[in-house]
Amino acid sequence: MFDLKWIRENSEAFDEGLKRRGLGPLSAEVLKIDEERRSHLQALQDAQAERNNASKEIGKAKASGDEAAANAAIEKVAKIKSFIQSGEDTEREINERLTALLSSIPNLPHDDVPIGEDETQNELMRQVGGVPSFDFEPKEHFEIGEALGYLDFETAAKMSGSRFVLLSGPLARMERALAQFMLDLQTETHGYTEVSPPIMVKKNALYGTGQLPKFEEDLFKTTGDHYLIPTAEVPLTNIAADCIIDDDYLPRRYVAYSPCFRSEAGSAGRDTRGMIRQHQFMKVELVSITRPDQSDEELERMTSCAEEVLNRLGLAYQVLKLCTGDMGFGARRTFDIEVWLPGQDTYREISSCSVCGDFQARRMNGRYRVEGEKGTHFVHTLNGSGLAVGRTLVAVLENYQQADGSVVVPEVLRPYMNGLELIEPAKK
């Protein structure tokens, strides 16, 4: 959501930002409605002032028992009434148009975000860790997992259809181990506060983070009024909704382990094999609520918190700065972390860290106050995966696979897996 006053005063910068996003200019349309609204408001408010004065007169006249004067004033006001009535209708209608337009406009990218149409134009920031070499042809994760007997798409499809998976035995355990390891790292080493949030939310929460009203088709909705969260970003960021936080409490850092639900409406045919793209997956999510002057630095920090998971797991990855065309709706700047998958012979997204500025804060009315100062300001919000657990499991399987089909358990996970060092095929 944008500050109307800012658009009014920076209409060129606004259109320029939209252009960088690959969108046409909108300031003219916005300002036209704004203009309409303001000139209308002036007339309406004059009429209201007149009515209020007359009403006070009536009050006084009645109090002093002067019925004649009261009736005269009532008659006078009656004439303005219909104008005010229709004027209020018009105001409502204009406001609705304005909010509808404003709430569908994506956030503007930071100046340093490269301009581009799609993921091919993202900017490579760094590559970390050596890509492992194999003296055999590395398999994809689903081949490995299915051969082990602990990764079962068929059984999942039987009860849930496509894009679901059933993990069992040591792989189910590894999913839990990964989550535990990530949570411990983010809370104990990086200072995040662990949260166990609701995973069903109402639409105002989704409006706050920007999934609604534009992306309803990506969400699962219950038969009631709840939606299943597509990411814990939604409940975590909405902690700040309708709050006024003292500035010395900022930044606030939250981490949550939760399932995520996505309809994948626009992805038919993509990543149909394996567990890369599922309707349901587990993720450890990081969210920061900061002051405006802290948010850029916080994005760097958050990204490195996510990277540390991969460092400790010994997985190779690269960090990209997303170009304008590949960024999400609410983001001003996004870093994607892509992990190396030997089976696919490529890097795949495993985390996405974004700074949203005050875009979400405006939508959810999340503010902070500086001690001793008058008034409030909008907070800045950031979110990032730390990490997507399902895809991390994929990465471990592919990177730690051996020629005989067994999979070595990364050292940092062993304490979480009862000391298990090697995953071998299930005995039938």
Partner RNA sequence: GGAGAGGUGGCUGAGUGGUUGAAAGCGGCGGUCUUGAAAACCGUUGAGCGUUUACGCGUUCCGGGGGUUCGAAUCCCUCCCUCUCCGCCA
Residue 53 is a binding residue for RNA (CB under 7 A)? yes
Active site residue 312: no
H helical segments located in 131-275: 141-148, 153-160, 169-184, 203-209, 233-237
Site string for RNA, 193-222 (x = CB under 7 A): ---------x--------------------
# residues contacting RNA (CB under 7 A): 35
Q: Is 54 in the site for RNA (CB under 7 A)?
A: yes
CB of 55 to RNA, least distance (A): 4
Rank residues 130 and 375 by Cβ distance to RNA and give the closer one: 375
| 172 is a site residue for RNA (CB under 7 A) | no
Contact 316, 131 (CB under 8 A): yes
Which candidate in 258, 352, 354, 385 is catalytic? 352
Place of tokens 């411990």: 184
Are the C-beta atoms of residues 343 and 134 closer than 8 Å to each other? no
Sole residue written with tokens 């997985």: 315
In whole angstroms, the minimum distance from the beta carbon of 42 to RNA comes to 5
Site for RNA contains 273 (CB under 7 A): no
Q: How far is the CB of 79 from RNA (least distance, A)?
A: 10
Q: Per residue in 22-59, is it b (16+ CB within 10 Å) or e — as a string?
A: eeeebbeebeebbeebeeeeeebeebbebbeebeebbe
Residue of 262, 301, 333, 348 with catalytic role: 262
Q: Does 77 bind RNA (CB under 7 A)?
A: yes
Using the minimum distance from each CB to RNA, give the nearer residue, 62 or 190.
62
Window contacting RNA (CB under 7 A); options: 72-80, 133-141, 328-336, 400-408: 72-80
Helix (H, G, I), strand (E, B) or coil at 40: helix
Contacts for 157-164: CB closer than 8 Å, 24+ residues apart:
160/279, 162/272, 163/264, 163/272, 163/277, 163/278, 163/279, 164/278, 164/279, 164/280
Catalytic residue among 349, 369, 406, 414: 349
Residue with tokens 């860290």: 353
Catalytic annotation present for 35 = no
DSSP summary character for residue 114: P
CB 187 within 8 A of CB 249: no
Structure tokens at 33: 């409605």
Question: From CA 3, how far away is CA 413, in angstroms rounded?
Answer: 47
Nearby residues of 221 by Cβ (< 8 Å), 6 or more positions away:
227, 228
Kindly indicate which of the ranges 18-26, 44-52, 145-153, 262-270 contains the residues binding RNA, using the contact rule CB under 7 A: 44-52
Binding of RNA at residue 370 (CB under 7 A)? no
Tell which one of 55, 162, 196, 272 touches RNA (CB under 7 A).
55
Among 38, 370, 421, 426, binds RNA (CB under 7 A): 38
**Residue 48 interacting with RNA (CB under 7 A):** yes
One-character DSSP codes across 58-113: HHHHHHTT-HHHHHHHHHHHHHHHHHHHHHHHHHHHHHHHHHHHHTTSPPPPPTTS
Interacting positions 217-236 with RNA (CB under 7 A): 225
CB of 404 to RNA, least distance (A): 42
Q: In the complex, what is the shortest distance from the CB of residue 114 to RNA, in angstroms, rounded to a whole number?
A: 33
Pick 83 or 134: Cβ nearer RNA: 83
Q: Which residue has the tokens 């909108």?
A: 26
Residue 88 is a binding residue for RNA (CB under 7 A): yes
- Distance CA(361)–CA(243), nearest Å, equals 10
Among 24, 130, 269, 375, binds RNA (CB under 7 A): 375
Q: Are strands 193-195 and 200-201 parallel, antiparallel or unpaired?
A: unpaired
Q: Cα(309)–Cα(410) distance, rounded to whole angstroms? A: 12
Residue 390 phi, psi dihedral angles, 5° rounding:
-60, -45
User: Is position 56 an interface residue for RNA (rule: CB under 7 A)?
Assistant: yes
Is residue 11 a contact residue for RNA (CB under 7 A)?
no
Q: Which stretch binds RNA (CB under 7 A): 57-65, 273-281, 290-298, 351-359?
A: 57-65
Query: Can you tell me the distance from the alpha carbon of 164 to that of 154, in angstroms, rounded to the nearest whole number?
Result: 9
The reply to whether 188 sits near RNA by the rule CB under 7 A is: no
Whether 277 sits among the annotated catalytic residues: the reply is yes
Is 92 a residue of the active site? no
- Residue 343: helix, strand or coil by DSSP? coil
Span near RNA by CB under 7 A; candidates 22-30, 37-45, 287-295, 330-338: 37-45
Active site residue 391: yes
Q: Please report whether residue 71 would count as binding RNA according to CB under 7 A.
A: no
- Contacts to RNA by CB under 7 A: 4-5, 38, 41-42, 45-46, 48-49, 51-56, 58-59, 62, 74, 77-78, 81, 84-85, 88-89, 92, 202, 225, 244, 371-372, 374-376
Q: Which residues are catalytic?
A: 262, 277, 349, 352, 391
